[in-house]
Amino acid sequence: MDDRGQLTTEHRNPRSKNLHGLSVEEAFALINAEDAGIARAIADAGDEICRAIELVIESFRRGGRLIYVGAGTSGRLGVLDAAECPPTFLTDPEQVQGVIAGGCDAITRSVEGAEDDPAAGAAAMDQRDAGGADVVFGIATGGTTPYVHGAIRRARRRGAKTVFLACVSDGQVADDADVSIRVDTGPEVLTGSTRMKAGTATKMILNMVTTIAMVRSGKVYENLMVDMNTAGNAKLRDRGMRVIGSLTGLDRAASGSLLKAAGGHVKTALVMHARGITREEAGRLLDEAAGQVGQVIEPLQPID
């Protein structure tokens, strides 16, 4: 067994050595102060994060997929981000995927030992037929997870672009990815518990990756979701009507009628209103503009 004690994520944090003796208020203040540095650490890795996002944008333009791979907390955060894309951006569930060592059972409970098998990570890439149009995004906050490294190596051999995210320097643990993101979140308040600062940093980065890639893919207009499954639930129908009302000036009843006439599709409703055309004609224009609603409505009718 390798000694992982040299890894930053395994170091003891000198500021929390008396953690067991702190009051609730003192422990809260300590953890909150430690968390305050996460955004700065992410900013320091901004160039690499942006390079990774560009890979994902290009993948989506080519009809490819973003495949997160991780174990434990890292794997669960990848699964979470993937699961949130269809309701937020009306994406095909296959477009963003989360792969976790140990399979579905590991989402809700620990599957010990699963992360130690690089061959299983490689096999997961074979099972998903990872290839030239895809981006495989490995997450291993401590940097060493064999399952993730196995997946990255196999994905590269299969022609996929690869990204690796860790919270230790590449001098401590190397990787084989096309883009290596290293975020120095420092030692955890609870030694080795990377579900804390490292996990928070991971969640923030994955939010940026998919949100910015979806914005660039035409899923957002201004700062509003214009691709969403309004048939999914009452909250999304309400949001769809409010988006339409905000961008068109229509009242709620008229926004609801327009949304219904557009088959529940907000982008289609906006084009129908701006151009005074049918649902079918709006759909054709959106297809021609690769889903970029601004390209269809702004030349004709700029929206304040």
Catalytic residue among 48, 54, 58, 84: 84
Through-space distance between the first and last CA atoms of the chain, rounded to whole angstroms = 62
Q: Measure the CA–CA gap between 159 and 142, rounded to whole angstroms.
A: 26
- State which H helix or E strand residue 136 sits in: strand 135-139
Active site residue 280: no
Q: Which residues of 154-192 are buried (b: 16+ CB within 10 A; e: fewer)?
A: bbbebebbbbbbbbbeeebbebebbbbbbbbbbbbbeeb
Cβ atoms of 259 and 229 within 8 Å: the answer is no
- Please, what sign has the CA dihedral across residues 202, 204, 210, 213? negative
- State which H helix or E strand residue 179 sits in: strand 179-182
Single-letter amino acid code for the residue at 270: L
- Pull the structure tokens for residue 62: 């080519």
- Pull the structure tokens for residue 132: 């030239």
Token pair 């049918």 is at which residue? Answer: 278
Say which DSSP state 115 is in: G
* Residues with Cβ within 8 Å of residue 71, at least 6 apart in sequence: 100, 101, 102, 106, 114, 115, 140, 145, 147, 148
Q: Are strands 135-139 and 66-70 parallel, antiparallel or unpaired?
A: parallel
Cβ atoms of 140 and 9 within 8 Å: the answer is no
Catalytic residue numbers, as ranges? 84, 115
